[in-house]
Structure 1
């Protein structure tokens, strides 16, 4: 009630805020902002070739202030609470304020370049991408379990590798625990693992083929398939949830329709009874 009275007392302010809100929600507003962000990234890249160019520096300053104007337009149109309710707006606010505060420091280029991440906001506008991202976010708890299993597996094989193969190859392969972990990462990605790692060791330690074959089967094939299976299961859950929601809605509509038919039938019976009497 108080808010309504304030709007009645300040019709111009309410009208201005509504205009800003319509501007923010306009279909061309976000594409224009994205275009400016791309231009900003292009200028930053060009500055790496033309360091200190006055035209580029001037364009850079203009773009920074365009971002500031965009920030104020959104804060006015959406309201202070409405603006900071969105985490992406908090991200934008941090980058803009950081660009202004650190503009004269060497960190400004990094801060301006981070604004290119706003392109990620295009993901919710594309249903297929939004579905994939939502499924990935929902699958994080299950993926943490797989990550723990992977860490345990890599640790066991790294200890075995340092125990038996540390003197066969140079230090950077199995000379220590962390180098063995890096070597196992190379093996699991199939990057020159046979010619550079496995075959030289097998020539010196014949039973080493068991080590590498078992690690590839468990680490590369099983773990990777587990990750894919988890993500696909969450993708399927979204489809199942939508289908269940539709079935529930159809069931409720069917029940309401039956109830309406029963009422109509009862009314017709009562009317017939009255006519017979």
Structure 2
């Protein structure tokens, strides 16, 4: 019973090691990325009714092949964490891949064509797993959502305030743009992009010269101040995402040194003396080996700067 219990972790480690060799290989990442692009191309072909009707059976078979390939991929990724299953669920990309792939097997989703197409479309987003820059951008977008929500709140208050002022001042003379609160909000939302600003200003000047203050203050606050604030929020989130990516790269364990390789020199004088002594012993062994291969010739001359009997010198120097 004890042997069987002790043998189970070793089997898990062996399975995890084999799966990790596959999932961390470059050809595996290239293959999965190519499958994702091919899946996106097939989704695009299905939008053409003539092609989808002509190749309906082939497209369905191709979809089953993609589903099988992605299922094998997620099983291999799960197998790579067989010795530490919790780490698999700590990675948000693994959870996203698992939900996208396994949802296609649920009966309710499988029978709903619209939801199934959306889930198949979500597979394209998995390309971000293999593109670090795209992954950073997606993480930055996610981290900018709280700041974007605050921006939308301030922008909504600004729109409401100026829409009410515009309705009060211009509803009678310009009912097409300010006849109601909804029309005023729509007009100001389009002006936020500076679309039709010249026409709006000219129409306002025909009503009152003071309208220039209304439009100028709104454009200044909405199109310049708020938009720049949003850009600042996104840039800050992008810097944070890059820092997180750098921290994850630094936290990854380094590859173990090859068998028999010496550890790197870290500036320790004790380690340096040990290496020098080992090198001298190796030279002494080489001298003795050369002397044994040529009997009668005597030991070779010592190296320049070294007295005969290098091993004794090493012993003395080691002290």
Q: Equivalents in 2 of 1:135, 1:105: separation in Å?
A: 32
Which residue of the partner structure matches residue 192 of structure 2? 188
| Alpha-carbon shift at residue 112 of structure 1 (Å) | 0.4
Q: Which runs of 5+ in 2 are unaligned?
A: 247-266, 270-319
| Alpha-carbon shift at residue 144 of structure 1 (Å) | 4.5
Which residue of the partner structure matches residue 91 of structure 2? 86
Query: Scaled by the length of structure 1, what TM-score is found?
Result: 0.71
Structure 2 residue corresponding to 1:73, chosen from 65, 71, 76: 76
What does 1:199-218 align with in structure 2 at a 5 Å threshold?
199-218=202-221
| Residue 119 of structure 1 pairs with residue 127 of structure 2 | yes
Q: Equivalents in 2 of 1:137, 1:104: separation in Å?
A: 31
Structure 2 vs 1, CA of residues 109 and 237 (structure 1 numbering), >3 Å: closer, same or farther? closer
State which drifts further: 51-60 or 221-230. 221-230
**Higher Cα Rg, which structure:** 2
Contact 2:128 2:135 in 1 (8 A): no
Q: Which runs of 5+ in 1 are unaligned?
A: 243-256, 261-277
Contact 2:19 2:80 in 1 (8 A): yes
Structure 2 vs 1, CA of residues 185 and 5 (structure 1 numbering), >3 Å: closer, same or farther? farther
Count of matched residue pairs:
237
Q: Equivalents in 1 of 2:52, 2:44: separation in Å?
A: 10
What does 1:127-206 align with in structure 2 at a 5 Å threshold?
141-171=146-176, 173-195=177-199, 197-206=200-209
Which residue of the partner structure matches residue 266 of structure 1? none
Q: Equivalents in 1 of 2:5, 2:201: separation in Å?
A: 76
State which drifts further: 102-111 or 130-139. 130-139
Contact 1:71 1:93 in 2 (8 A): yes
Q: Equivalents in 2 of 1:234, 1:37: separation in Å?
A: 27
Q: Equivalents in 2 of 1:170, 1:117: separation in Å?
A: 45
